[in-house]
Structure 1
């Protein structure tokens, strides 16, 4: 099986020895996959020969700065990403696979006051789907998140293979027709039925998370709120729980595919939402 970042198999074995939850292990892998995809696209040090043992503090700082500037991540997310990278580089260092600890001098950020979570966007989905000012990929992201899919799921190759859309609303069906017209030449060129495809020739035609953010970011000025798929998904969860207050924890966990230890957190957010 191909690896998404250097020494992934060995690192995962180390994580498994810590007996951490699968969801936490998945978070580590998502962080590191995104980190190395970013380096591959934007970092000259890594682009030269793809050697992890050449990475130093400025290379990690460049990635973290991008997360803050381009994706507008909160300090809590910044600290979690830094922690993931720190554990990974300590693992490499302990095996002598790198002579550097590039995260050693990087400091975590102070805890921020929680930003009010936008959950109302779900209620306005139909108007967003019909808004031609928004890029097709922005509208598609909103549609899929409102159907309960996190970004880690819908950017996966072959995501659409088993997707059932027949029961979606009439405005969603209308948008899907527009989407298909947009995608037809790309799907033909890349011989792929997937939805999130690059618009230029590429060995791997699938859009990455950083690539998706390039479409989402400019559209924030139009909608007036953050379009980070992770934040949108949190808003969707809160919206769902506000609409279904009668659900038991077990029913909500099953409907939303949540980890059991996170249901209380989202219930509290739903109760505080005005």
Structure 2
């Protein structure tokens, strides 16, 4: 396995020995890869020789502060990342691979009250698509989610190759014509026909989920609701269920590409929606 951060093989082996789920192991790997990538670019202590055992509390606080200010993560996400780092450094300390526990004195953040899910946004999609205050990627995100697509799938290479828009509405196709004028030069530059592309030269031209959030987050002040793709998708699913109250579970699962076990959860959400 290619080492994406120091002692990754040993750390993953330790997690797996404790029967940590593979999805959770993947989350640890993603956190620590991002952490070390940030250090490599912005932390002088780590830049000198990439020695993880030289990091102290201010170095960890620098990264966590960036998450809050630049990426504007929610406190729940902040706490999960801090927990990942804490487990990792405790592991290193237990093997004498670092003399410090740099996360020991860093406190978690209080959980924020959950924002209500806006399930009405799909009803106003036509207006959002023509609102030029919103970035093209914000409007494209709204459009794709309004057709039931999870944004993680939309960001994958070759997503557009299998996407059919023939039955989309006239105003949606008009939006795509305008969007093509925006994305066409990027597609030509990168020789890639996908839609979510970086605007600067890169080996991999595909926009990442954190990269997409950089476009979505400023536009929340315009629309007045969360543009988190996962929250938008929940709103879309609730909207669909409220519009099709008599549809069978089987038909809903097929139409919305849901896991069978999740239908009851979304039905309850739709029933609680005002």
Q: TM-score, normalised by structure 2?
A: 0.78
Change (3 A) 1:113 1:220: closer
* C-alpha distance in 1 between matches for 2:28 and 2:208: 17
Ranges in structure 2 where 5+ consecutive residues have no aligned partner:
none
Change (3 A) 1:139 1:239: same
- Aligned equivalent of 1:185: 185
- Aligned equivalent of 2:239: 239
What is the root-mean-square deviation in Å for CA atoms of aligned residues?
A: 3.5
- Aligned equivalent of 2:159: 159
* C-alpha distance in 2 between matches for 1:222 and 1:20: 41
Structure 1 runs of 4+ aligned residues shifted over 6 Å read none
Change (3 A) 1:251 1:219: closer
Q: Is the 8 A contact 2:249 2:263 kept in 1?
A: no
Q: TM-score, normalised by structure 1?
A: 0.78
TM-superposed deviation, 1:210: 3.4
Q: Which SS does the other structure have where 2:137 is aligned? A: helix
TM-superposed deviation, 1:136: 0.8
- Aligned equivalent of 1:101: 101
Change (3 A) 1:13 1:144: farther
Q: Does 1:63 align with 2:63?
A: yes
Count of aligned residue pairs for this structure pair: 273
Change (3 A) 1:227 1:61: farther
Q: Is the 8 A contact 1:46 1:52 kept in 2?
A: yes
Q: Does 1:248 align with 2:249?
A: yes
Q: Is the 8 A contact 2:253 2:260 kept in 1?
A: no
Stretch deviating more after TM superposition (208-217 or 250-259)? 250-259
* C-alpha distance in 2 between matches for 1:2 and 1:160: 30
Ranges in structure 1 where 5+ consecutive residues have no aligned partner:
none
- Aligned equivalent of 2:82: 82
* C-alpha distance in 1 between matches for 2:68 and 2:125: 27
Larger radius of gyration: 2
